[in-house]
């Protein structure tokens, strides 16, 4: 499968090189631009993500973002030296999808990149490297789920799930960018009206599902609880997920 392509737009060569080395090691194809004008000239449908520095001489990152948004919905991750809430809001209002404040850890960069690419692939109906849809399965974070029958593998080991456990996992893995409330899970899986007492039913099945697919059910990496909101699938601890 073709590699996903990331465009790095950063005027500081040292930062640009560090990001390139890191993401190349994660098997992404990398394009580089040292300023906003070059970035706009390089934009094409082959680009799956743009990492964009906000403060650049000449054409600023905000202006570049606005120009990209005229023709593309590609996810844009801003890099900014400003941590003020108002500065972040300006970037998101301009059309950015997420932001990282310099200096940032490479682990956080990788997590943000993977999350944005995963969401973009879901929205666009595309498959990601390591995930297949044409053969009737969907894969993410080492979990593979057959879409038309109850069969699940975790790190290539087949797991024996009940039909309800399988349906819950399939629901979550197909929309990893969503947070599913207990009500939405119950109404989607049980096809019955939701009542507050149904929360206990959901919690029991989530606990049993974790016992079967998580290495440490007390510290889940696949089925996350987002406190006060519901559940989601994935490794990244966004939105207060635990």
Mean of all residue pLDDT scores within the chain: 84
**Residues 144 and 120 both lie in one domain:** no
Residue 235 has pLDDT above 80, yes or no: no
Of the residues 100, 124, 148, the one at which a domain ends: 124
**Residues 152 and 119 both lie in one domain:** no
- What is the domain count for the chain? 2
Higher pLDDT: 6 or 197? It is: 6
Find the CATH number of the domain harbouring 89: 3.40.50.2300
Percent of the chain scoring above 90 in pLDDT: 43
**Residues 156 and 189 both lie in one domain:** yes
Strand partners, 200: none
**Residues 117 and 162 both lie in one domain:** no
Contact 173, 182 (CB under 8 A): no
DSSP readout, 31-49? EEESSHHHHHHH--TTEEE
Is 89 inside a domain boundary?
yes
Is 133 inside a domain boundary?
no
**Residues 88 and 144 both lie in one domain:** no
> How would you classify the pairing of strands 143-146 and 137-140?
antiparallel
Residue 72's pLDDT band, with cuts at 50, 70 and 90, is: confident
Residue 205's pLDDT band, with cuts at 50, 70 and 90, is: very high
**Residues 104 and 145 both lie in one domain:** no
Q: What is the pLDDT of residues 147-194, one digit of tens each?
A: 888 899 998 889 988 888 999 999 999 887 788 999 999 988 887 888
Q: Collapsing DSSP states into helix, strand and coil, what is residue 30?
A: strand
**Residues 92 and 179 both lie in one domain:** no
**Residues 9 and 120 both lie in one domain:** yes
pTM over 0.85: no
Residue 212's pLDDT band, with cuts at 50, 70 and 90, is: very high
**Residues 158 and 106 both lie in one domain:** no
Residue 50's pLDDT band, with cuts at 50, 70 and 90, is: very high
**Residues 88 and 9 both lie in one domain:** yes
Higher pLDDT: 134 or 201? It is: 201
Q: If 0-12 CB within 10 Å is exposed, 13-18 middle and 19+ buried, where does residue 58 land?
A: exposed
Residue 198's pLDDT band, with cuts at 50, 70 and 90, is: confident
Is 97 inside a domain boundary?
yes
Residue 13's pLDDT band, with cuts at 50, 70 and 90, is: very high
**Residues 20 and 108 both lie in one domain:** yes
Is 214 inside a domain boundary?
yes
Is 74 inside a domain boundary?
yes
The first and second tokens of residue 51, run together, are: 């990492």
The first and second tokens of residue 131, run together, are: 């995930």
Residue 46 has pLDDT above 50, yes or no: yes
Q: What is the pLDDT of residues 109-135, one digit of tens each?
A: 888 888 788 766 655 555 455 444 445
Of the residues 97, 124, 151, the one at which a domain ends: 124
Is 165 inside a domain boundary?
yes
**Residues 9 and 86 both lie in one domain:** yes
Write out the residue range of the structural domain in which residue 68 sits: 5-124
pLDDT for res 240:
38
Residue 7 has pLDDT above 90, yes or no: yes
Q: If 0-12 CB within 10 Å is exposed, 13-18 middle and 19+ buried, where does residue 116 land?
A: buried
Residue 241 has pLDDT above 80, yes or no: no
């Amino acid at each position: 499968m073709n590699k996903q392509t990331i465009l790095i737009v950063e005027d500081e060569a040292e930062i640009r090189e560090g990001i390139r080395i890191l993401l190349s090691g994660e098997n992404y194809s990398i394009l580089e631009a040292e300023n906003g004008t070059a970035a706009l000239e390089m934009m094409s449908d082959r680009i799956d993500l743009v990492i964009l520095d906000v403060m650049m001489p000449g054409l600023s990152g905000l202006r570049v973002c606005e120009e990209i948004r005229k023709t593309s919905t590609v996810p844009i991750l801003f890099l900014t030296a400003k941590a003020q809430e108002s500065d972040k809001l300006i970037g998101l209002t301009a059309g950015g999808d997420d932001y990282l404040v310099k200096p940032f850890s490479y682990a956080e960069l990788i997590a943000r990149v993977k999350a944005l690419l995963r969401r973009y692939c879901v929205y666009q109906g595309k498959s990601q490297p390591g995930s297949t849809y044409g053969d009737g399965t969907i894969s993410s974070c080492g979990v593979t789920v057959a879409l038309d029958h109850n069969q699940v593998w975790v790190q290539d080991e087949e797991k024996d799930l009940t039909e309800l456990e399988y349906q819950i996992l399939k629901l979550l893995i197909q929309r990893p960018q969503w947070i599913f409330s207990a009500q939405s899970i119950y109404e989607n899986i049980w096809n019955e009206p939701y009542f507050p007492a149904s929360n206990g039913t959901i919690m029991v099945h989530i606990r049993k599902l974790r016992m079967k697919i998580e290495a440490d059910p007390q510290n889940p990496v696949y089925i996350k609880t987002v406190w006060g909101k519901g559940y989601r699938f994935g490794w990244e601890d966004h939105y207060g997920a635990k």
